[in-house]
Amino acid sequence: MSEPKKLYVKTYGCQMNVYDSERMVEALGSKGYVQTDTPDDADMILLNTCHIREKAAEKVYSELGRFRPLRDANPDLKIGVAGCVAQAEGEEIIRRQPMVDLVVGPQTYHRLPEMVDTLAEGGRALDTDFPEEDKFAHLPKTRKAPRGPTAFLTVQEGCDKFCAFCVVPYTRGAEVSRPVERLLHEAQDLVERGVREITLLGQNVNAYHGAGPDGTEWGLARLIRRMAEIDGLERIRFTTSHPNDMEDDLIAAHGDCAKLMPYLHLPVQSGSDRILKAMNRKHTAEHYIRLIARIREARPDLLLSGDFIVGFPGETEADFQATLDLVTTVGYGQAYSFKYSARPGTPAAERPGVDQTEADDRLQRLQALLSEQQRAEQDGMVGREVRVLFEKPGRMPGQMVGKSDYLHAVHVDGPETLRGQIAPVRITASASNSLAGMLI
């Protein structure tokens, strides 16, 4: 029996890429590949890329350059680029970096086994189509290896929103929702392998409208309620959402579905209606604020997370102040903020930018406010009892780390047998990015 071939995968970007990388590993398992944690002795190196941030493609080329000594030492080493940079750059990757053997977009990685056959015949493989077939239907049907207590599950892909700053509609394609029965089967399989918490993923996950087993269209709330019936699945989360797709039944689910965790990531991007219009967000700041109030009415202890872009083309100090005002009004337990970076091919890329010194200053001021809110939220947890799903040992001997209902990292003194268990913890201290507690 031949030795298995080693596959090294490096994943960039969002949770959907983490999920995609897992599925690519499984797809290549049919060709005898097993995953390795280091590229040093790999038979194939696969970069699963993200195109959201500035100079994403250049960073990929730089990373590829670091693998040249490995290729020189092992001419049989195969190197591939997957994900959104692969979709955007296509043949340009092979032209600029001839040692790349394989380029595959995020909608065609189910074809990896056939692409590997092409490599075995001495050719190169490129596939950045948007195929009509459902890639998930062509991936391995069983996933038998044991899993950690948390997992991602992609339920929706693509985006029809066309925000002026975003490349996702061009790299991931139109919004598509996976059928309910396939998702339930995959969720059941994950639970049978040890998963206690599943995070449902989508570029606009709350735009999910999949075909149900009864022939009707199911929204995300109905899917969540059905998944909550799976014995052994204790926690459900979802990300990333769009304010315009937060329907009434999904708001209600935050209040009446016990397994749906009290954490919501709902990006707003700006507090200025003028900038929101320029971004093509199709909602106003007031609409967002009223929406948050309704969700918190359903789930008063909700921890809210968001995304913000500063320095968007045309943003004035008054526009930025409107963002600070919105943050102050809403209150965030967690948030991500970025300085605008032009993405080639998007409408905003052609517009004059904001002075970079001013954009840097605005980002620092926003992050200071968000950090203040995050710290206040964490400090407010001290003395409270939370339920923690323990995932791994901590940095100190005899310590275990897990996530609370609110997605806070929590560490306690306890045995490794806590791994995979949900236990009550009283929070005793708050640090910058984590909480300390004691088992109750």
- Cβ proximity of 158 and 174 under 8 Å: yes
| Type of residue numbered 225 | R
φ and ψ at residue 401, rounded to 5 degrees: -125, 140
Terminal-to-terminal C-alpha distance of the chain:
51
Q: What is the DSSP string of 289-300?
A: HHHHHHHHHH-T
- Cβ proximity of 4 and 33 under 8 Å: yes
- Cβ proximity of 115 and 46 under 8 Å: no
Cis amide leading into 240 (omega within 30)? yes
- Cβ proximity of 308 and 317 under 8 Å: no
Two structure tokens written together for 6: 């080693």
Q: Say whether 84 counts as a known binding-site residue.
A: yes
- Cβ proximity of 212 and 155 under 8 Å: no
Rounded-to-10 torsion of CA 66, 67, 69, 70: 150
Q: Say whether 14 counts as a known binding-site residue.
A: yes
Phi-psi region of 11 (alpha: psi -120 to 50; beta: other; left: phi over 0): beta
Q: CA 404, CA 406: separation in Å to the nearest integer? A: 5
- Cβ proximity of 227 and 184 under 8 Å: yes
Q: Say whether 163 counts as a known binding-site residue.
A: yes
Name 422's bridge partners. Answer: 389
Strand, coil or helix: 438:
strand
Q: Which helix (H) or strand (E) holds 429?
A: strand 422-430
Q: How far is CA 48 from CA 18, 23, 87, 175, 208, in A?
A: 9, 11, 11, 21, 24
Q: Say whether 166 counts as a known binding-site residue.
A: yes
- Count the Cβ atoms, other than its own, within 10 Å of residue 341: 16
- Cβ proximity of 194 and 146 under 8 Å: yes
Strand, coil or helix: 428:
strand
- Binding residues, as ranges, are 14, 50, 84, 159, 163, 166
- Binding residues for [4Fe-4S] cluster, as ranges, are 14, 50, 84, 159, 163, 166
